Amino acid sequence: MDKRVLPNEVLLEEAGQLLDEGREVVFTPLGSSMLPFIRGGKDSVTLRKKDTAEVGDIVLVRLPGRYVLHRIIALDGEKVTLMGDGNLVGTEACTRADIMGTVTLIQRGKRSVVPGDGRFWRVLKPFRRYILGIYRRLI
């Protein structure tokens, strides 16, 4: 299989159309904002369009001028608050309509992992700095 790197605008716009058609999309995200659960450039994710969004879901969201793949940490009506698992501070806000798809599977080498709700990781937020520091030194 050929490996091609496309600009986010091209790849994720096409992915959004496929998700809207009810199809699954698989791609390899870049960046470290979802460490340690998704390793940028190494792990691939499978996304599907879901009718509902829940706290703990990892979602692909279209924001003005960019796309993010982060976990939902709060829902308030139509308002959605996101934060990357590898982020120590900072959140993004969007609406439910901005959610393009939800991660249903993480492929890590030959191993497939169904993502959990991240509840334990969210509880560890005060200790993330130390945990991620150790993790980054080990990988």
With a threshold of 0.85, does the pTM exceed it?
yes
Q: Give the residue numbers spanning the domain of 85.
A: 8-138
Q: Flag whether 71 is in a domain.
A: yes
Into how many domains does the chain fold?
A: 1
pLDDT at 7: 74
In a domain, 1, yes or no: no
Distance CA 43, CA 108 (A): 5
Most confident of 16-20, 33-37, 56-60, 126-130: 56-60
Judge whether 66 lies within some domain: yes
**Residue 87 Rama label (left phi>0; alpha psi -120 to 50; beta):** beta
Residue 2, pLDDT score: 64
Which residues contact residue 82 at a Cβ distance below 8 angstroms, ignoring those fewer than 6 apart?
Answer: 59, 61, 68, 70, 71, 72, 73, 91, 92, 93, 94
Establish if 125 belongs to a structural domain: yes
pLDDT at 139 over 80: no
pLDDT band at 125 (very low <50, low <70, confident <90, very high): confident
Residue 92's CATH number = 2.10.109.10
* 20 located within any domain: yes
pLDDT, tens only, 56-100: 999 999 999 899 999 999 999 999 999 999 998 889 999 999 999
| 3 lies in some domain | no
Provide the 3-class DSSP secondary structure of residue 16.
helix
pLDDT of 134 strictly over 60: yes
**Helices assigned H by DSSP within the chain:** 8-20, 119-123, 128-138
Answer yes or no: is 81 within a domain.
yes
